[in-house]
């Protein structure tokens, strides 16, 4: 009896999740079309739709064209009915947003950290949330939850129960996830990987990491370390060493790695190396101007990133691989050369594309995670 009851609950969750996802992706859509596409009985569709309508997650949008009988009412995802607060707590500043469930950002606030003290920094976060909550919103729009993208390691918050603290203080659902996973979820829900069944987002910034999305879910791995491509050894010479902080690949191919190699090349060419204010972006700018030293560094970077893309493609074969992070601002100098390097190397040509969300990818990923968490979203591969 208990097993049958549990199975029935799971089926209800599956049906609800499938209908909500289809309406979100295919609005406007009729109930009969939902029934056809999901191979779900009409009574079940009607029951689920009524439930979602009562929760303000879907709404009626008019009538479909008549084919001789009575025209059917169309449903659409009610993106404006709810908003999500997204917080990206970086090393030097906080970035807070309010966005509706369709990914439209309604408000953005950037603030520098005023203190590294744990308690004072936490209070700054709470003040930012309060300010966001008091910003004007569309009539009747409710706050669905808060998504915290990441927090600065320098604040010493590793063991801080941030989710519980914020949930109790603001009486809202709170989710906390790392920036790379949420960036992948953001690209999957609203950006370059929208509509894909599987996606990997490679974030190349200060370090290198990858977020893996399979059938709408973040894949974390057994040790919660799936996607740590920055630790890939580029060749056998990198084996047998210990890597603290940065992995082998990210030490040479991340933004800071590109900067470090550029400084070495400039020294070799007896060129002046700026002590400060020099970054990977400057290297790409110099390469665009045809500087030979910069072209060399960029070509090496292409090789290293092509290696990471090859590994991801051969092991996971995702439908889309998104290049994100700060270095992705120079994607036009990376993607085609990477694909050229991989021609004939891997079984299938990767679908490598630049991020379409940029620095907003992670906070938009928070929308997806809050929506899934608060609607008890579940999916099973192969079940329609």
pLDDT digits (tens, 9 = 90+) for 116-133: 788 888 999 999 999 999
Residue 161: which CATH number? 3.30.420.40
Say how many domains are in the chain. Answer: 3
Question: In 10 A of CB 271, how many CB atoms?
Answer: 12
Distance CA 253, CA 351 (A): 21
Distance CA 5, CA 68 (A): 42
Instruction: Name the pLDDT band for 6 (thresholds 50, 70, 90).
Output: low
Does 183 have pLDDT greater than 80?
A: yes
Sign for the pseudo-dihedral over CA of 279, 283, 286, 292: positive
Average pLDDT of the segment spanning 319-347: 94
Average pLDDT of the segment spanning 352-364: 93
Residue 348 counted as domain residue: yes
Residue 56 sits in which domain range? 2-77
Classify residue 240 by its DSSP letter: T
- The tens digit of pLDDT for each residue in 258-308 reads 999 999 999 888 888 777 778 899 999 999 999 999 999 999 999 999 999
Closest to 93 measured CA to CA, from 368, 281, 357, 359: 359
Residue 47 counted as domain residue: yes
Residues 73 and 85 in one domain: no
The phi, psi pair for 194, rounded to 5°, reads: -60, 135
- Last residue of one domain, picked from the residues 50, 77, 104: 77
Residues 91 and 111 in one domain: yes
Distance CA 368, CA 25 (A): 13
- The tens digit of pLDDT for each residue in 121-165 reads 899 999 999 999 999 999 999 999 999 987 666 667 777 889 999
Residue 110 counted as domain residue: yes
The pLDDT assigned to 66 comes to 46
Residues 211 and 121 in one domain: no
Distance CA 33, CA 76 (A): 13
Residues 368 and 329 in one domain: no
Return the percentage of the chain with pLDDT > 70, whole number. 93
Region at 195 (left for phi over 0; alpha for psi -120 to 50; beta for the rest): left
Facing residues of 192 across strands? Answer: none
The pLDDT assigned to 272 comes to 80
- Whole-model pTM? 0.87
Average pLDDT of the segment spanning 185-192: 94
Residue 121 counted as domain residue: yes
Residues 288 and 367 in one domain: no
Closest to 88 measured CA to CA, from 203, 218, 179, 7: 179
- Three-state secondary-structure class, residue 319: coil
Average pLDDT of the segment spanning 240-249: 89
Does 65 have pLDDT greater than 60?
A: no
Residue 141 counted as domain residue: yes
Residues 73 and 105 in one domain: no
Average pLDDT of the segment spanning 228-249: 91
Please give the structure tokens belonging to residue 4: 């049958």
Residues 205 and 317 in one domain: yes
Does 359 have pLDDT greater than 60?
A: yes
Residue 312 counted as domain residue: yes
Residue 24 counted as domain residue: yes
Residue 290 counted as domain residue: yes
Does 335 have pLDDT greater than 70?
A: yes
- Three-state secondary-structure class, residue 305: helix
Does 382 have pLDDT greater than 60?
A: no
Distance CA 270, CA 60 (A): 69
The pLDDT assigned to 70 comes to 44
Residues 212 and 320 in one domain: yes
């Amino acid at each position: 009896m208990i097993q049958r009851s549990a199975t029935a609950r799971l089926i209800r969750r599956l049906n609800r999740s499938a209908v909500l996802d289809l309406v979100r992706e295919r609005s406007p859509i009729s109930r009969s079309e939902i029934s056809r596409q999901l191979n779900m009985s009409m009574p079940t569709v009607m029951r689920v739709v009524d439930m979602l309508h009562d929760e303000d997650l879907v709404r009626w949008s008019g009538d479909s064209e008549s084919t001789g009988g009575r025209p059917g009412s169309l449903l659409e995802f009610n993106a404006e009915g709810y908003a999500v607060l997204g917080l990206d707590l970086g090393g030097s500043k906080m970035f807070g947003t309010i966005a509706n469930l369709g990914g439209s950002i309604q408000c953005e606030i950037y603030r520098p950290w005023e203190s590294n003290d744990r308690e004072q920094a936490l209070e700054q976060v709470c003040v930012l949330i309060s300010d966001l909550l008091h910003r004007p919103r569309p009539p009747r729009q409710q706050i669905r939850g808060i998504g915290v993208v990441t927090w600065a390691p320098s604040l010493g918050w590793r063991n801080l129960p941030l989710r519980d603290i914020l949930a109790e203080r603001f009486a809202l659902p709170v989710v906390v996830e790392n920036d790379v996973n949420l960036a992948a979820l953001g690209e999957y829900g609203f950006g370059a990987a929208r509509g894909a069944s599987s996606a990997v987002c490679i974030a190349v910034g200060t370090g290198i990491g990858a977020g893996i999305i399979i059938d709408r879910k973040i894949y974390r791995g057994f040790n919660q370390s799936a996607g740590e491509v920055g630790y890939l050894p580029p060749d056998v010479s990198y084996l047998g060493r210990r890597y603290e902080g940065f992995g082998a690949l990210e030490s040479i191919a991340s933004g800071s790695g590109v900067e470090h190699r550029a400084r070495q090349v400039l020294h070799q060419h007896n060129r002046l190396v700026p002590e400060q204010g020099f970054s990977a972006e400057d290297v790409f700018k110099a390469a665009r101007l045809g500087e030979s030293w910069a072209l060399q560094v960029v070509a090496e970077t292409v090789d290293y990133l092509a290696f990471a893309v090859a590994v991801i493609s051969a092991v996971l074969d995702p439908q889309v691989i998104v290049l994100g992070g700060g270095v992705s601002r120079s994607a036009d100098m990376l993607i085609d050369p990477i694909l050229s390097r991989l021609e004939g190397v891997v079984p299938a040509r990767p679908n490598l594309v630049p991020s379409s969300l940029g620095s907003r990818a992670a906070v938009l990923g928070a929308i997806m995670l809050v929506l899934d968490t608060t609607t008890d979203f579940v999916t099973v591969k192969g079940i329609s």
